[in-house]
Amino acid sequence: MKLANRLAFITGGGRGIGRAIAFEFAREGASVAVAARTREHVEEVAKEIADDLGVQTLAIECDVENTANVNEAIDGFRAHFGRGPDIVVNNAGLVETELFIRTDEQMWERHLNVNLGGTFRCTHAALPEMIESRWGRIINIASIAAKTGAPYISAYAASKHGVLGLTRSLALEVATQGITVNAICPGYVDTEMTLRGVENIVARTGKSADEALRTIMNMSPQHRLVTPEEVAALAVLLASEAGRGINGQAINVDGGTVLF
């Protein structure tokens, strides 16, 4: 098992990509804490994983926008598992679509506060103990929108570009300390977030849901959505001992949509 005896803290673990990562990590022997704002979701995922795979799990209600909340979450993690996380997956995120001229400051700040600020807060809370133990993995779920732009997503793309800046700089700061920091950049993944994207296209263009989904799928050269499990498989590699040479990278899981 690639993650035996490892402790992982996964934000946005209540559904979608975060849930899939929690399951894959647990399959590889890690104990996992799943954190999100909706208590029922994280409790359900934590229970399902513990029941199915027999590993230790913890459900944490946490809003990554709130520093006190994040610090309490990491303190709760320590109290439960006896030490801080070895692996932090910064996955909690939101996307809202709007033309830039109609993007108000609140919408701009929501994206920066959750997608980028949440990554900062969770990493900041967990890193000192990783430095002390001379082992750690920070895995940031960015997006191909961290590398390219697209209409209607200026706030989202700006926040995700910021995640890459943080990833690359921190990776170099901790490179000699047994810690790696990497980003995963998925294309469209089969989750609720993409479903909401389909609904948006339907509302804006009058296309049917099927046509809207086809439009999204055709953005990938593979003409399909990525599965959450495909993203999770890369997260396992980055979290594992075998992945220790991969540092400061932003790796696409997008079927070849973005080639850099």
Site residues (vs ligand NDP, CB under 6 A):
11-12, 14-18, 36-38, 41, 62-65, 91-95, 114, 141, 143, 186, 188-189, 191-194
Nearer to ligand NDP, 111 or 135 (CB): 111
Question: Smallest distance from the beta carbon of 51 to ligand NDP, in angstroms?
Answer: 20
Identify whether the C-beta of residue 173 lies closer than 8 Å to the C-beta of residue 245: no
Structure tokens that stand for 194 in this block: 């993409």
3-state helix, strand, coil in the chain (%, to 5): 50, 15, 35
- Spatial distance between the Cα atoms of 179 and 77, rounded to a whole number of angstroms: 20
Question: Smallest distance from the beta carbon of 177 to ligand NDP, in angstroms?
Answer: 26
Nearer to ligand NDP, 61 or 86 (CB): 61
Nearer to ligand NDP, 28 or 65 (CB): 65
Of the candidates 170, 172, 179, 17, which has an alpha carbon nearest to the alpha carbon of residue 86? 179
Question: Smallest distance from the beta carbon of 246 to ligand NDP, in angstroms?
Answer: 19
Question: Smallest distance from the beta carbon of 176 to ligand NDP, in angstroms?
Answer: 29
DSSP H helical segments within the chain, as ranges?
A: 16-27, 39-53, 67-81, 105-111, 118-133, 154-173, 192-205, 209-217, 228-239
Of the candidates 92, 169, 76, which has an alpha carbon nearest to the alpha carbon of residue 126? 76
Residue 243 vs residues 50, 140, 238, 249: alpha-carbon distances, Å: 26, 15, 5, 11
- To the nearest 10 degrees (0 to 180), the angle between helices 192-205 and 209-217 is 120
Catalytic residue ranges = 156
Nearer to ligand NDP, 195 or 242 (CB): 195
